[in-house]
Chains A and B, each alone.
Chain A
Amino acid sequence: MSIDSLISRAMRGFREELRLYVVAVTSLAVAFLCLGAALLALQNLGAVAERWGKSGHITVYLRDGLEPAEITRLAAVLEGLREVDHVRVVSSEEARAEFLARTELGEEVAELGAEVFPASIEVGIVSGVTVEAIEKLAARIGALEGVSDVESYRGWFEQLASLLSAGKVGATVIAVLVGFCVFAVVGNTVRLSIARRRREIEVMKLCGATHGFVRGPFIVEGIVQGLLASALAVAALAAAFFALRAELNSAFSIFVGTEAVFLGPGLLALLVFSGAFIGATSSTLSLRRYLEI
């Protein structure tokens, strides 16, 4: 079949059914935008989890009224451990100041004395140590003289991991829904335009057009719908992300100490390609159902 004729007949289809296609592409773009946003959230969650997994740390809370010399000795002991990368002593005063700086809660909190905030030692773990090993280390540190409590953040890490796997399930569900949505919308658009072009389809068949000749433009139109919708969604997502990147980063770095990342080129290409692919298959199926040749 001649490509020129195929393209020009598909273009004519778009011109004649412009409103139908604008509505279809817009709703598909919204669906793809949801999917893209879900993937973006998942990607960043994954990045956070990876960073936390790599750079584990432990907070060692000290008993009240410990002498500075004892604190220094304890810090030295901790620094001497094989798994420990560095230590930092945080006095009650410093803990209070840090808390106030972060929360901006105002007067009534500011009146809290330093004694409310226990002194602690932040212990950075060398990279590559597993969560289980960190847990064991925390238990060992907890038994040391002068230590009141040890926070290994294992609960946090586990929460993040379960959040991540829930996110993956959620994104998969959204992807399936979006797939169905594209199927339904493209299939319906094709069905409508078959109905509207009944006369010209009849004419083509009477003039000796093959099935492929009649079907070709509909399939091209399905592909273009899917392609256009997913590309529009990617463009909108990128525009939103890069416009808000500064804000995202400042919010992000407080909590997790990483920068927000955008979807990689491979994932973007997959998103656009799957739009085209689903568009093609759903128009083909719809033709098989509604175009009686």
Chain B
Amino acid sequence: MVSNRESRGGRPFAFFRAGARVGAEGAERPILAFEDVYKFFGKDQPALRGLNLTIERGEFVFLTGPSGAGKSTLLKLVYRELTVDSGRILFCGRDIARLTDRSIPFLRRNLGIVFQDFKVVPHWTVFENVAIALEILELPARLVRSRVGEALERVGLSGRGDERVGTLSGGEQQRVAVARAIVSEPALLLADEPTGNLDPTLAVDVLTLFEEIHQTGTTVLFATHDHGLIERRDHRILSLEQGRVYDVRRGLASWSSSGVHAVREARRAAG
């Protein structure tokens, strides 16, 4: 378990304990803020160019945009797979870009991350795949068992802890990945096209699962280019194009006032 003592030392993110009970100063700030962030891969082709965005604690935000828009890059900057070239990324008010390599694990312990390709270990059991997130935190085995049990219940995999993940269907594997992401009760849940490899009904199930997790207080940043999925949901939508946020709207409510959507809604009402 990460102790409070470490947070005052060289590991700025160690104080975010599982359960996201943050001190008063952290709680007042947005959970995530990008300030004029640039990320280059080639010399003259920035993947992100002057990106600004703010996500408040407890929000559910869709991150959308065409393939190549920079969604994955944005998320990778948050979990420090990549480092910004300029600008700041504040997680609970602290600049991620300035973290030393040794501190990165402690940042990641405050994040749950779900991917398009699941990133589960196929030859491990369901239990082992989820428990690893808590073993890293060095929780006692008894606590690991009970919390993995709860997480599996939340994703609808109760009682299936002993099955090998490689034998599960794609939708079930993604549920294992979600259970692993939430079992340590992180402050922020990142999802990079988590429904991309699933057929539409399963995609909706997984989205609903994220919404249920959001209901219990977790902040969710959900990247997807699947408009069919986000259309009917009442969440803030950040659209990325060519490395900038070019549109900020809400689903449902704001859509009914926008032109295209109004027409479509009218048709639906008529039909």
Instruction: List residues of A whose CB falls within 8 A of some B CB.
Output: 1-2, 4-5, 9, 16, 199-200, 202-210, 213
Does B225 count as interface, using CB distance less than 8 angstroms? Answer: no
Q: Which residues from 90 to 144 on chain B have a C-beta closer than 8 Å to any C-beta of chain A?
A: 102, 105-109, 111, 113, 119-124, 129, 132-133, 135-138, 141
User: When the two chains form the complex, which single residue of A1, A4, A9 contacts B141, counting CB atoms closer than 8 Å?
Assistant: A4
Q: List 20 A-B contacts (CB under 8 A).
A: A1-B138, A4-B141, A5-B135, A5-B138, A9-B135, A16-B123, A199-B119, A199-B121, A200-B121, A200-B124, A203-B119, A203-B180, A206-B108, A207-B108, A207-B109, A207-B132, A207-B136, A208-B108, A208-B109, A208-B136
Q: In the complex, what residues of A have CB within 8 A of residue B136's CB?
A: 204, 207-209, 213
Q: Does B60 contact A (CB under 8 A)?
A: no
B180 A207 Cβ-Cβ under 8 A: yes
* Chain A contacts for B137, CB-based, 8 A: 208
Q: What mask results when residues 144 to 186 of chain B are scored 1 for a CB within 8 Å of chain A, else 0? A: 0000000000000000000000000000000000001000100
CB distance from A111 to the nearest CB of B (A): 79
A interface, over-half SS:
helix
**B41 CB to closest chain A CB, in angstroms?**
19
Instruction: Enumerate chain A residues within 8 angstroms of B141, measured Cβ to Cβ.
Output: 4
Cβ-based interface call for B79 (8 A): yes
B105 engages A203 (CB within 8 Å): no
Q: Is B132 within 8 A of A206, CB to CB? A: no
CB distance from B132 to the nearest CB of A (A): 6
Is the Cβ of B119 less than 8 Å from the Cβ of A206? yes
B119 touches A209 (CB 8 A): no
Distance between Cα atoms of A277 and B109 in the complex (Å): 33
On chain B, the residues within 8 Å of A208 by CB distance are: 105-109, 111, 133, 136-137
A195 to B92, CA, bound (A): 36
Interface range on chain B (Cβ under 8 Å from partner): 20 to 34
Q: Is the CB of B105 within 8 A of A210?
A: yes
CA distance A208 to B138 in the complex (A): 12
Nearest CB on A from B130, distance (A): 10
Complex contacts, B133 vs chain A, CB 8 Å:
207-208
* Residues of chain B contacted by A203 (CB below 8 angstroms): 119-121, 129, 132, 180
Query: Lowest 7 A-B CB distances belong to which pairs?
Result: A208-B109, A208-B108, A208-B105, A207-B133, A200-B121, A209-B136, A2-B138
Name the distance in Å between A78's Cβ and chain B's nearest Cβ.
Answer: 81
Residues of B contacting A205 in the complex (Cβ-Cβ under 8 angstroms): 105, 108
Docked complex Cα distance between A4 and B139 (Å): 11
Measured CA separation A206–B184 after assembly (Å): 13
Q: C-beta contact mask, B27-65 vs A, less than 8 Å → 1, else 0?
A: 000000000000000000000000000000000000000
* A207 contacts across to B, CB distance below 8 A: 108-109, 132-133, 136, 180, 184
Q: How far is the CA of A169 from the CA of B73 in the complex (A)?
A: 60
Q: Measured between alpha carbons, how far is A4 from B138 in the docked complex, in Å?
A: 10
Contact B105 A209 (CB under 8 A): yes
Q: Which residues of B contact A199 (CB under 8 A)?
A: 119, 121-122
| Least distance between B163 CB and chain A CB atoms (Å) | 17
- CB-CB under 8 A from B120, the residues of chain A are 203
Nearest CB to that of A199 among chain B residues? B121
A202–B135 Cα distance when bound, in Å, is: 15
Residues in A whose Cβ lies below 8 Å from that of B79? 206
CB distance from A205 to the nearest CB of B (A): 8
- Of all chain A residues, which has the CB nearest B101? A293
Residues of B within 8 A of A4 (CB): 141
Per the bound structure, the CA–CA distance linking A87 and B129 in Å amounts to: 83
Residues of A within 8 A of B109 (CB): 207-208
Q: A5-B135, A5-B138 are in contact. Are A202 and B119 (CB under 8 A)?
A: yes
In the docked arrangement, what's the CA distance between A206 and B135, Å? Answer: 13
Give complex CA distance A64, B180 in Å.
Answer: 99
Q: Which residue of A lies closest to B181 (CB)?
A: A207
Using CB atoms, name the residue of chain A closest to B183. Answer: A207
How near does chain A come to B215, taking the closest CB pair, in angstroms? Answer: 23
Residue of B nearest to A201 (CB): B121
CB-nearest residue of chain A to B121: A200
Nearest to B136 among chain A residues (CB) is A209
